Structure 1
Amino acid sequence: MTLAIQNNHFQLACNGVSYWEEQQALLVADVHLGKISHFRKNGSAVPQTAILKNFDRLNESVAQFQPKQIIFLGDLFHSALNSEWNLFENWLQQQQAEVILIAGNHDIISPLHYDELGVKIHQELNIDNFRLTHHPEEQEDSFNICGHIHPGYRLVGLGKQHLKLKCFFRSERQLILPAFGEFTGCFVMKPEPKDQVFVCADAEVIQVN
């Protein structure tokens, strides 16, 4: 699925990333690295192999789009340093693209650690008429691309069966990306008539309203 926004084009992928063609930038929201290790440390029965899924899926996206920039829209890490930081460091060493983090409310790890790895941190990033943030922040003079909400949409079948899927949520001046990370959950959105919802199915992104 490709969206045209202000003469720019954004490919929406079913794993929740978006590729900004004109900037050759991969946009990724709410990875929450370290969350699975945090769960396991506190006794949750989450398999060790789940930790690697985030990195596997990131690698798949990088291989697919070959970006020059990878921009994380906040909440890259879930909390303080843990064993997944070492995995992140190893992952960074394999990347050719510039890596940028727009700080989110969960990003409490010292910027010094990111600086040592060559990751640039911003509170927001303005590119042409686009404003990239973690929290949704609409302004009249720019189009906002963000995360934080973990948007989802509930589909209801004829037999009253329910299916909740992650989604991209577009309003007039904003695009909210779904949470990329495993075990992040989603918040069911209630679109207004002019809003657009693009759900992430297993093999494609589908507009549902």
Structure 2
Amino acid sequence: MIAESVLRELMSRQQLLPLRFCQSLWLIDSRAALYWPEQDCLLVGDLHFEKGSYLSQYASPVPRYDSRATLEVLKTLLATYQPKRVICLGDSFHDQGAFERLIEDDVKQLQSLIDSVSEWLWVEGNHDPDIPAAIGGKVVPHLMLTTQTGVGITCQHIPDNRDEPKIVGHYHPKGRFIAPPRRFNGKCLVTTDKLMLMPALGQYTGGLRIDDEVLTALAPKTQRQCYLLCEGRVVLLPPRS
């Protein structure tokens, strides 16, 4: 559980921002993570471990240190929030061979992070349907959370058509905010009354602009709120963004 002094410091720096979802309080962190104080739970999406090594197989000139960078972000998040439970919302590994391409030190660090919490849950994604048991944690196709007021929230990678609250990954939403003469770009959390679209935590993940028709169909501008993550801060975007 995050210490109250740390919480106050992060909020004073605008590194996190509280929001309400399904009658419950959540905290969005500028490092692309969501913390749920009610159940001492940290949620992250789309880690895409070893995307760099995957791309390098096709002569893409990107550094192969993306997994190390993602692990360092996870390490700082766990040190900050000290959660009992971690939920990874799918596409944690970029492809079926990603785990085998992780270097030994990265495997050890990941296993150390998993062992540091009471429960680590891997929600299956479309990129990683076969997460190896050797890494630790528990693999689930989806997960149901229940708030103190009895509201059920489904955690899954890709949203379905069921009219129920859900938290999903997959789309890597991105946005921008213009405050002349500057233009800010970054990852986004998008919320409606019944849907949270999580930002991607991983490196090289790209993403869909929040004004893309795919995202506006899922979360119409008149019904949603967008939170831009940039320069270590969380920025509440204007209505209808």
Which whole-Å CA distance do the structure 2 matches of 1:14 and 1:52 have between them? Answer: 19
Determine whether 1:133 maps to 2:156. yes
Determine whether 1:47 maps to 2:70. no
Counterpart amino acid of residue 39 in structure 1: L
Q: Are the aligned partners of 1:9 and 1:20 in contact in 2 as well (CA < 8 Å)?
A: yes
Please give the root-mean-square deviation of Cα atoms over the aligned residues, in Å. Answer: 2.0
Which whole-Å CA distance do the structure 2 matches of 1:193 and 1:42 have between them? Answer: 42
Structure 1 residue 27: deviation in Å?
Answer: 0.3
Identity percentage of aligned residues:
25
Determine whether 1:28 maps to 2:47. no
Determine whether 1:122 maps to 2:140. yes
Q: Are the aligned partners of 2:93 and 2:127 in contact in 1 as well (CA < 8 Å)?
A: yes
TM-score (norm 1): 0.88
Determine whether 1:144 maps to 2:166. yes
Q: Which runs of 5+ in 2 are unaligned?
A: 1-16, 147-151, 212-219
TM-score (norm 2): 0.77
> Residue 195 of structure 2 corresponds to which residue in structure 1?
174
Work out which of the residue numbers 164, 167, 171 in structure 1 matches 2:185. Answer: 164
Determine whether 1:155 maps to 2:177. yes
Which whole-Å CA distance do the structure 2 matches of 1:137 and 1:21 have between them? Answer: 26
> Number of paired residues?
204
Task: Call closer, same or farther: CA 1:50–1:105 in 2, change over 3 Å.
Answer: closer
Q: What are the superposed Cα offsets for residues 150-190 of structure 1, whole Å, 9 maximum, x if unpaired? A: 1111334556x754321000112101110110110120113
Structure 1 residue 137: deviation in Å?
Answer: 3.0
Determine whether 1:13 maps to 2:29. yes
> Residue 96 of structure 1 corresponds to which residue in structure 2?
116
Q: Are the aligned partners of 2:66 and 2:204 in contact in 1 as well (CA < 8 Å)?
A: no
> Residue 197 of structure 1 corresponds to which residue in structure 2?
226
Counterpart amino acid of residue 96 in structure 1: S
Structure 1 residue 104: deviation in Å?
Answer: 0.5
> Secondary structure, in 3 states, of the residue corresponding to 2:26?
strand
Structure 1 residue 26: deviation in Å?
Answer: 0.8
Task: Call closer, same or farther: CA 1:204–1:162 in 2, change over 3 Å.
Answer: closer
Counterpart amino acid of residue 101 in structure 2: S
> Secondary structure, in 3 states, of the residue corresponding to 1:22?
helix
Structure 1 residue 80: deviation in Å?
Answer: 2.2
> Secondary structure, in 3 states, of the residue corresponding to 1:200?
strand
Which whole-Å CA distance do the structure 1 matches of 2:65 and 2:48 have between them? Answer: 16
Q: Which runs of 5+ in 1 are unaligned?
A: none
